[in-house]
Amino acid sequence: MAEIKDNIYGYTTTEIAELLLTGDVKKYRIDQLFDWLFQKHENNLDDMSNLPKSFRTKLAETYDFSLPHIINQVESSDKSIKYLLELVDGEKIEMVLMPTDRKTTLCLSSQVGCSRNCTFCATGKLGLTRNLTTAEMIGQIVLAMKLLKPEVLTNIVFMGMGEPFDNYDNLVKTLQILADTDGLCFSPRRTTVSTSGIAPMIRQFADSGVKAKLAISLNAAIEDKRCELMPVNKLYSLQQLKSAISHYLAYNKYKVTFEYVLIKDFNMGKEDLKALIKFTGDLSCKINLIPWNRVEGLDYQSPTQEEVDEFRTAIMRVNKAVTMRQSRGDDIGAACGQLAYQNYINKG
């Protein structure tokens, strides 16, 4: 049986340097390695031409340099591309690249499946198989950067399969490597972590000193409605969530984004609007409205364009930044709440 080697992308640059400097490797060689891994996005040792063969041999014997393997990809009419990726143990995840005229965003996964079971989301119906490692999350980012060349990845959102804060330690390490000037050197201003509302972990994240924007999947500001949509609310109430968000804002200059999925005849009434305004009114935030994307087998309805426009007009009367997320990749099951959609249907 072949020896299982640690993946190089699971280490911070400090850890890599400490491991390699224990031998006879010079510091400048490590800097050259970092340049190949994190700036040139090269994971093939044979192509790292300025590294001595003896060094490359040592690296190959010690570390795994592989990235998640693409086993399928499908392109949307809006040019978004969903990738089905296979991990080293055969488990599968999805990531999505979403280009626009001004930017290109990667939506990456943090878990195989998800345990939070939000009732409007296909991924939650799969249940949780396991957390992704740091190497598997960084691997998605490096893979996306390789695929985009010569274009550049401008934004990263942890909004794919999984609840990022349920994989907290690996998430934080991923964000550290992502922002590290010797690592991927990616701006925290262009990195967003989306959570269903794990209040204690929001507080812990605020205290960690690791910087990233925060998006909260809110979807209802009335207690019983949010409990119906999102079982996490039975553990951490809206009051606890708001307190945790206020704590986060005390340590971060970034506004919080509230994601609000618009579901016909459920969370778009006058009482819902009033509750949303009250909940967000005294917070530094913006509100992102998302018409629900159809998932076969789930008993919800998408609102009409007229209903969406009416809700948006009403909420924009409040002194908050309100955006409308355009559904990207809906025709390929890559839109918000649809990841693992086909897996869910096949499983059902």
In this prediction, residues 324-341 reach a mean pLDDT of 49
SS3 call for 336: coil
Which of 2.60.120.380, 3.20.20.70, 3.90.930.12, 3.40.718.10 is the CATH number of 69-347?
A: 3.20.20.70
Three-class SS of the chain: CCCCCEEHHHCCHHHHHHHHHCCCCCHHHHHHHHHHHHHCCCCCHHHCCCCCHHHHHHHHHHEECCCCEEEEEEECCCCCEEEEEECCCCCEEEEEEEECCCCEEEECCCEEECCCCCCCCCHHHHCEEEECCHHHHHHHHHHHHHHHCCCCCCEEEECCCCCHHHHHHHHHHHHHHHHCCCCCCCCHHHEEEEECCCHHHHHHHHHHCCCCEEEEECCCCCHHHHHHHCCHHHHCCHHHHHHHHHHHHHHCCCCEEEEEEECCCCCCCHHHHHHHHHHHCCCCEEEEEEECCCCCCCCCCCCCHHHHHHHHHHHCCCCCEEEECCCCCHHHCCCCCCCCHHHHHHHC
114 is catalytic: no
Output 3 or 134, whichever has higher pLDDT: 134
In this prediction, residue 194 has a pLDDT band, given cuts at 50, 70 and 90, of very high
Q: Is the pLDDT of residue 170 over 90?
A: yes
CA–CA gap between residue 222 and residue 270 (Å, rounded): 12
Exactly one of 107, 118, 285, 336 is catalytic; name it. 336
94 is catalytic: yes
Task: State the pLDDT at residue 125.
Answer: 81
Tens digits of per-residue pLDDT, 24-63? 789 999 999 999 999 999 999 999 999 999 999 999 999 9
Task: State the pLDDT at residue 328.
Answer: 44
CA–CA gap between residue 109 and residue 131 (Å, rounded): 10
In this prediction, residues 231-244 reach a mean pLDDT of 98
Q: Is the pLDDT of residue 19 over 70?
A: yes
In this prediction, residue 318 has a pLDDT band, given cuts at 50, 70 and 90, of confident
- Output the six-digit token pair for 46: 């044979």
In this prediction, residue 316 has a pLDDT band, given cuts at 50, 70 and 90, of confident
Going by the DSSP 8-state scheme, the letter that residue 154 receives in this structure is -
Task: List the Cα angle 241/245/247 in 5-degree steps.
Answer: 120
- Output the six-digit token pair for 233: 């609310």
Tell me which residue of 272, 252, 271 sits closest to 262, measured CA to CA.
272
Exactly one of 42, 94, 136, 163 is catalytic; name it. 94
What residue spans define the domains of the chain? Answer: 6-64, 69-347
Note the CATH architecture for domain 6-64: Orthogonal Bundle (1.10)
In this prediction, residues 71-95 reach a mean pLDDT of 93
Tens digits of per-residue pLDDT, 296-306? 778 899 999 99
